[in-house]
Structure 1
């Protein structure tokens, strides 16, 4: 049975959003925010950076989320000290989570069948990665429902 996040992911995928965009949209939804520019920007990470040869969009989208919570966004703002550690935790976890696919590239995860995401593989990876991002944030003292303020 699907939980609310799983249902939301299916709904967004059905509307034509890719994995990296769905990652961003889940976080924005949790924060109660809208940011169409960020969602559009995340489309550049879709399908392994466009041709399936690059790193999975779930991973790059997750890295964007960590930057959204911990990165510098204004002149007078400093990045969170924990950002490099959070990115390292994500990398280590994602590499481990995709080992059975043979790598972190989109083509590895999709077993060379590029062009159409596999709802089971990609959907499961989005759900697991989003849950892991939430854990990383909480473990590092950041509230997934708040994020940084948008001035």
Structure 2
């Protein structure tokens, strides 16, 4: 398993934006590459470039869909609920304003959100496996 915080830092150093970082790591977990998909994720960065819905959250929802398209309807709301409880808002502008004294806040959010997203996927796969034989 990769060290997510370290990988987030590496990709940030390569000038990937938040949503591109989340998707790149999501693809790496699947052991896939898709440069066009990663490139397209730039459209979600910086709250859709107008400080609205956080690109980290929207990219994490895309990762859920990429891994478990049939179950994203259940998993995405769980992700959104967790994110809002964890950070207090879904909007980039709020998150940046409240944490402007911490330049590493977005990196921390990326790491925690990726970890939670992967945990959601792992838990869901275990539940599905368990239900196959019941």
Common fold, TM-score beyond 0.5?
yes
SS across alignment from 2:118: helix
SS across alignment from 2:15: coil
- CA gap of 1:139–1:13, structure 2 versus 1, over 3 A, is same
TM-aligned CA deviation for residue 85 of structure 1: 1.1
Aligned to 1:57: 55
* 1:107–1:113 contact (8 Å) kept in structure 2: no
TM-score by length of 2: 0.85
Aligned to 2:13: 14
* 1:13–1:22 contact (8 Å) kept in structure 2: yes
Structure 1 vs Structure 2 CA RMSD: 1.9
* 1:6–1:127 contact (8 Å) kept in structure 2: yes
Aligned to 1:131: 115
TM-aligned CA deviation for residue 84 of structure 1: 1.1
SS across alignment from 1:55: coil
After TM superposition, the structure 1 = structure 2 runs for residues 70-89 of structure 1, keeping only pairs within 5 Å, are 70-71=68-69, 80=70, 82-89=71-78
Name the CA distance, whole Å, in 2 between partners of 1:34 and 1:119: 29
| 1:110 corresponds to 2:91 | no
TM-score by length of 1: 0.76
Per-residue CA distance 1:12-63 (angstroms, 9 max, x = gap): 10111011100000111122211001101111000000122x1110000101
TM-aligned CA deviation for residue 119 of structure 1: 4.1
Count how many residue pairs are aligned between Structure 1 and Structure 2. 124
Aligned to 2:36: 37
Unaligned runs of 5+ in 2: 127-134
Name the CA distance, whole Å, in 2 between partners of 1:122 and 1:113: 9
| The structure with more helix, counted as a fraction of residues | 2
